[in-house]
Amino acid sequence: MTAMIELRNAEKTFVMHLQGGIRLPVMHGVTFDVNAGECVVLSGPSGAGKSSILKMIFGNYRCDGGTITVRHLGTFVDVASAEPRQILSVRRDTIGYVSQFLRAVPRVAAIDVVAEPLLNAGVSREEAHARAGALLKRLNIGERLWQLPPSTFSGGEQQRVNIARGFISDLPILLLDEPTASLDAANRAVVVDLVAEKKRADVAMVAIVHDDEVRHLIADRLIDVTSFAAAA
């Protein structure tokens, strides 16, 4: 395997336990690769299953069939069948996930929220804070906000703190779930630059982006997920 992520016939059916066990087949035959240094963008209409595919790769949603193999610390792990302990290890050292919303812990300063992934990876406090500050500055979060908890920030400010937290780590795989959704043009351009830098650092990315212009700028390949739709 040369790819960083290899999906083979992954499938997902939701079972609605509170509705008498109704089965909702969402997709099957999900098959594609993501190589180091490329950004694959998932496309398709609302409800087609884009977010579900990201969540399957991140191990949030269990697959009902197929394999999702990721390169993890020199070995291969099938996240479709991995134990929770292994999934946590993959998240610590291999896969980062940038969602649209920040899950801010109350009373933790923005700079610490952003620096945390580096501190967890063993980077010194001084370096982690320096890198966090530099990223916040690039994303136009003024220094006066750095020591404040982001729970009181505007939606767009919170999203930028979240982006900084997601992009700060040196993980080899990054999943981006609408990272530019509520950003203005200047900050969208910063995110486009950050994605380009990750490509140069050989990071493999899978993204969902609704903005046509951003999609065009970051996508090396588009995958239309409607081809994986399961017959209802």
Ligand X SMILES: Nc1ncnc2c1ncn2[C@@H]1O[C@H](COP(=O)(O)OP(=O)(O)OP(=O)(O)O)[C@@H](O)[C@H]1O
Measured from the CB atom, is 52 or 94 closer to ligand X?
52
Query: Using the rule CB under 6 A, is 176 a contact of ligand X?
Result: no
- What's the token pair of residue 192? 């486009």
Q: Residue 154 Cβ, how far from ligand X at the closest point, in Å? A: 22
Q: Residue 84 Cβ, how far from ligand X at the closest point, in Å? A: 18
* Site track 20-59 with ligand X (rule: CB under 6 A), x = hit: ----x-x-----------------x-xxxxxxx-------
Q: Residue 200 Cβ, how far from ligand X at the closest point, in Å? A: 28
Q: Residue 219 Cβ, how far from ligand X at the closest point, in Å? A: 16
Measured from the CB atom, is 49 or 96 closer to ligand X?
49
How many chain residues bind ligand X (CB under 6 A)? 11
Q: Are 53 and 225 in contact (CB under 8 A)?
A: yes
Q: Which residues within the stretch 50-109 sit at the binding site for ligand X (CB under 6 A)?
A: 50-52
- What's the token pair of residue 120? 């967890």
- Give the C-alpha distances (Å, rounded to integers) separating 91 from 65, 77, 106, 132, 143: 21, 12, 23, 20, 30
Burial of 163 (0-12, 13-18, 19+ CB in 10 A): buried
* Closest C-alpha among 1, 59, 57, 58 to residue 30: 57
Q: Residue 184 Cβ, how far from ligand X at the closest point, in Å? A: 22
* Binds ligand X (CB under 6 A): choice among 14, 101, 222, 227: 14
Cα–Cα distance measured from residue 82 to residue 108, given in angstroms and rounded to the nearest whole number = 32
Q: Can you say how many angstroms the Cα of residue 162 is from the centroid of all Cα atoms in its chain? A: 11
Measured from the CB atom, is 23 or 216 closer to ligand X?
23
CA R_g for the chain: 18
Q: Residue 19 Cβ, how far from ligand X at the closest point, in Å? A: 10
Cα–Cα distance measured from residue 98 to residue 163, given in angstroms and rounded to the nearest whole number = 6
Cα–Cα distance measured from residue 129 to residue 145, given in angstroms and rounded to the nearest whole number = 14
- What does the binding site for ligand X look like in residue numbers (CB under 6 A)? 14, 24, 26, 44, 46-52
